A and B are shown apart, each in its own frame.
Chain A
Amino acid sequence: MIYFLAVIIFIILTLFLRFVIGIEPRTIVIFYLLGLIIFFFSFTVAEMPAFGSPDNPTFNEVPQRYLESGVSETGAVNIVSSVIIDYRAFDTLGEATVLFVAIAAVIATIKAH
């Protein structure tokens, strides 16, 4: 019964979108595909661990060490700084390089044209 209703609603929605609002068939297909992706993603989201729960896998020894010995190991009171510029400094070098290469790309493109 519920499937029958769903199909009816689906058909009515399609006809409505196409002929009442006047959307292109191509756009309707894209619309449904995106809906399908959202449908599947919603299951994934439902399965995610609860936000901020202490049992989450992310609360393991990694943030623990950052928080407990970050000050003594890096000397920085700001934990964010101690992570981005000491524990994971190479990522920051990468980010600085991203900035540099973005500017280089802009300059090169503007100068060339």
Chain B
Amino acid sequence: MPLSRRTERRGGGTAIEDQIVRITSRLVAPFIQVYGIYVILHGHLSPGGSFSGGAIFGASLVLVALSFNLETGAKQISHQLASGLESGGAFGFILTGLIAIAIGGNFLANRAAGFPMGQAGELFSAGAILIITVFVGIKVASTIVTLFYTIIEGEE
């Protein structure tokens, strides 16, 4: 098998079939994903947070889809799932706010509503902040993937 070749795709565009790119990206992708998750989960402890972490995680999925092809990318996360997660992430944010109302605070309250605060500086602390960060992280990551799929599929 040659190291690199270009194949004609349905829409007339070309997909890169490059062993170096494929192997490297396959190796690097899990590390990028772990780093993305780290940045999201440590949003309340260190610089970064949901938006940057989500963007990092989403970029790794786009990297895989770019260096292989759409079908392989879709095995990691399908278009349907991505747009489902997007709605889910945004709805989760609202749900966290509504839970705060249900347990006796104002909309989006944190300490006032009685979310468990934990020890400041530890991973599982800061109550609603961590929950919201995770939801927004999921939302941003899936937004990037959805945008990528939509534009790629729109071209075909």
- What is A's interface to B at a CB cutoff of 8 Å? 71-78, 80-82, 84-86, 89-90, 92-93, 95-97, 99-100, 103, 106-107, 110-111
Query: In the complex, which of the residues A78, A81, A100 has the most CB atoms of chain B within 10 Å of its own CB atom?
Result: A81
- What is B's interface to A at a CB cutoff of 8 Å? 43-47, 49-51, 83, 86-87, 89-90, 93-94, 97, 107-108, 110-111, 117-118, 120-121, 125-129, 132-133, 136, 139-140, 143, 146-147, 150-151, 154
Bound form: Cα–Cα A99–B86 in Å: 10
Known: A92-B136, A93-B108. A75 touches B150 (CB 8 A): no
Q: Hey, which chain A residues are within 8 Å of B143, CB to CB? A: 99-100, 103
Bound form: Cα–Cα A63–B121 in Å: 21
Determine if A75 and B44 form an interchain contact, defined as CB atoms under 8 angstroms apart.
Answer: yes
Bound form: Cα–Cα A5–B46 in Å: 58
Determine if B45 and A77 form an interchain contact, defined as CB atoms under 8 angstroms apart.
Answer: yes
Q: Hey, which chain B residues are within 8 Å of A82, CB to CB? A: 44, 126, 129
Task: Give the Cβ gap from A4 to chain B, nearest Cβ, in Å.
Answer: 57
Determine if A103 and B86 form an interchain contact, defined as CB atoms under 8 angstroms apart.
Answer: yes
In the complex, the 5 A-B pairs of residues with the closest C-beta atoms, listed nearest first: A76-B44, A75-B126, A110-B154, A75-B117, A89-B108
